[in-house]
Amino acid sequence: MFKLLKYSLLDIVKSRFALLYTVFLILVAISIYQVSEDMSKVSLSLLNIMLMMVPLIAAIFATTHFFNNLEFTELMLAQPVKRRDVFLSQILAVIVVLSLAIIIGFGVPMILWGADVTVLTLLGIGIGLSIIFAGLAFMASVLTRDKAKAIGISLSFWIYFSLVYDGFVLYLIYSLSDYPLEKTTLGLVFFNPVDLGRIIMLMQLDISALMGYTGAFFQQFFGSAKGILLSSAMMLIWMLWPMGVAMRVFRKKDF
Amino acid sequence: MISVQQIHKKFGKLEVLKDFNLEFEAGNSYALMGPNGSGKTTLIKIILGMVIPNSGDVLVQGEAIKGNYAYRSKIGYMPQIGRYPENIKIGQLFSMMQDIRPEIKSYDMELVNDFGLNEMLDKPMHTLSGGTRQKVSAALAFMFQPDILILDEPTAGLDPIAVELLKTKIKKEREKGKLIIITSHILSELEELTNHAIYIFEGDVFFNDTVESLKEITGENRFSTAIARLMEWSLKKNTIKTELSHV
């Protein structure tokens, strides 16, 4: 599999997209570092941009990559290699490139202007979200035969988790405000990787007071070692299941 | 050498292959023909493991291909349209294919040299024309001296010189006693390269015999007219079928 991965990476690293994405992230990071000196404010601004951009780029890039490489994938399936390896080399190449872009794009400005633990958490969340949305995008791609449809599904994952889901949770809290909802909202957060990332980060930044009573409750939960462990485990499940489903389908798919 | 046994394949509601049986023997070269959508490419893809049949078995040199991938090192496959990662160079593509097969040490570089690909190993794939990509596909199919060659429209898009080179190469391999399967719509080419005709019609084997007996049965001297007659018959059979079903 590593042989295949090596050549997939060789191809993808040279594509203009990887370079553009990295440069874009560097520019974003530099401009935010220019605006503020306070490290936690920098982290917060970076977080907000990252939570919107990273899943979007990961979803679109993974889908287009899958379909652009479809004929090549077919050719690889005619070679003496396992289907599983063909699939893993494709998705891992995408994940490695997306992660490298985040590490370099956010990492270089950090080395220049300093960083703390919260920024490292930020990098981790960025990579986690890239893996999750690349997995979701591959799942959408193997389930459809049409590029436009797959991009549409990937985009709706992004819209759903970044925008719609929060609206839904807010509506729920608002309309059921007479009831104690802390545990319910806590549970709901687990079903959205973007929220999960945001909350892990916010807890580290120690600004949960801004989030009122629920925030305090989250702090109590997520701040404890058990909370961090559980939420990281949940992130891990989010990274694994879309990829797992995509691989299962891929292994039985007709090309 | 390849034995296709009772293959059944459906795409949604469309039955592409129905109880399909076929034997390919070493030393023969087969012309796989049929109208568009008759199931030729599906058959090839099933043999290569790219499409998974609903039921039935395929044996390659006695081994079932289900859940098996090593058998593919015995097959050289030239796809109809070869598309490769854009930013990879020809040389890198070759070394990747060689890396995948560590057990094969000696390579057949004849086509690589004949097509002049050895002088452009540093060119990235996205700079290549369609014909050159086709040359790359052909060179790859022959590179590992496989026992079985499956060529899907091998000469489409090639210039006349390259077509001649490829045909000579195919004939050379045929002399060595390899199994060759060719699909094409260019009948003159099939006549030149193959000795066995298989005509697939609506997911069934309509004709499967040597070219000589094809000519004998149809009463035609020329290959192309014999095939034309075969197509006529297959269409007639079809109308009879529909008439019956109306009754």
ipTM of the complex: 0.82
* pLDDT at site A200: 81
For residue B213, pLDDT beyond 50: yes
B101-131 residue pLDDT tens:
888 888 888 888 889 898 999 998 889 988 9
Cross-chain Cβ contact A72/B92 below 8 Å: no
Query: How many C-alpha atoms does B51 have within 13 Å on its Cβ side?
Result: 21
Q: How far is B247 from chain A (nearest CA, A)?
A: 37
For residue A208, pLDDT beyond 70: no
Alpha carbon B210 to its chain's center: 17
Q: In the CATH hierarchy, which top-level class contains the domain B2-246?
A: alpha beta
What is the spatial distance between Cα A83 and Cα A88, in angstroms, rounded to a whole number?
A: 9
**Tokens 């039921």 belong to residue:** B55
Q: Is B58 helix (H, G, I), strand (E, B) or coil?
A: strand
Cross-chain Cβ contact B49/A77 below 8 Å: yes
* pLDDT at site A211: 59
- What are the backbone angles phi and psi of residue A121, rounded to the nearest 5°? -60, -40
Dihedral angle at the C-alpha atoms of B3, B4, B5, B11, nearest 10 degrees?
A: 170
- What are the backbone angles phi and psi of residue B201, rounded to the nearest 5°? -135, 120
**What average pLDDT does the segment B149-164 reach?**
90
Question: Which has the closest alpha carbon to B199: B154, B229, B241, B167?
Answer: B229
DSSP string, B139-156: HHHHHT--SEEEEESTTT
Cross-chain CB nearest to B50 (options A8, A11, A77)? A77
Any CB–CB contact under 8 A between A84 and chain B? no
* Distant-in-sequence, close-in-space partners of B43: CB < 8 Å, separation ≥ 6: B4, B7, B17, B20, B22, B32, B200
For residue B49, pLDDT beyond 60: yes
**What average pLDDT does the segment B70-92 reach?**
87
pLDDT level of residue A7 (50, 70, 90 thresholds): confident
**What average pLDDT does the segment B140-162 reach?**
91
Cross-chain Cβ contact A69/B85 below 8 Å: yes
What is the spatial distance between Cα A155 and Cα B31, in angstroms, rounded to a whole number?
A: 46
CB A90 within 8 A of CB A69: yes
Residue of B nearest to A13 (CA): B87
* pLDDT at site B165: 92
CB B41 within 8 A of CB B33: no
Cross-chain CB nearest to A3 (options B52, B86, B100)? B100
Any CB–CB contact under 8 A between A82 and chain B? yes
Greater model confidence, B17 or A1 = B17
For residue A88, pLDDT beyond 60: yes
CB B34 within 8 A of CB B200: yes
B55-73 residue pLDDT tens:
888 999 888 888 888 889 8
The helix or strand, by DSSP H or E, that contains position B167, with its residue range, turns out to be helix B160-175
pLDDT level of residue B247 (50, 70, 90 thresholds): very low
Instruction: Give CA angle at B99 (B94, B101), nearest 5°.
Output: 105
Cross-chain Cβ contact A14/B11 below 8 Å: no
Greater model confidence, A181 or B229 = B229
Cβ-Cβ pairs closer than 8 A, A with B, add up to 77
Cross-chain CB nearest to A75 (options B11, B79, B86)? B79
Residue of A nearest to B41 (CA): A255
Q: How far is A121 from chain B (nearest CA, A)?
A: 34
CB B69 within 8 A of CB B49: yes
Any CB–CB contact under 8 A between B88 and chain A? yes
- What are the backbone angles phi and psi of residue A126, rounded to the nearest 5°? -60, -45
Alpha carbon A251 to its chain's center: 24
Q: How far is A131 from chain B (nearest CA, A)?
A: 22
Any CB–CB contact under 8 A between B49 and chain A? yes
What residues 13-52 of chain A have any CB closer than 8 A to a CB of chain B? 14-15
Count of residues for chain A? 255
Share of chain B above pLDDT 70, in %: 96
CA end-to-end distance (rounded Å), chain A: 20
A216-253 residue pLDDT tens:
677 777 667 777 788 889 999 999 999 999 999 999 88
**What average pLDDT does the segment B183-201 reach?**
87
Which of B88, B127, B181 to mutate to probe the A interface, most A CBs <10 Å? B88
Question: Which has the closest alpha carbon to B131: B113, B104, B155, B165?
Answer: B155
Cross-chain Cβ contact A71/B72 below 8 Å: no
Cross-chain Cβ contact B69/A82 below 8 Å: yes
Cross-chain Cβ contact A11/B50 below 8 Å: no
| A80 contacts on B by Cβ (under 8 Å) | 69-73, 100-101
Question: What b/e sequence results for B88-118 when a residue is b if at least 16 CB atoms lie within 10 Å of its CB, and e otherwise?
Answer: bbbebbbebbeebbeeeeebeeebbebbebe
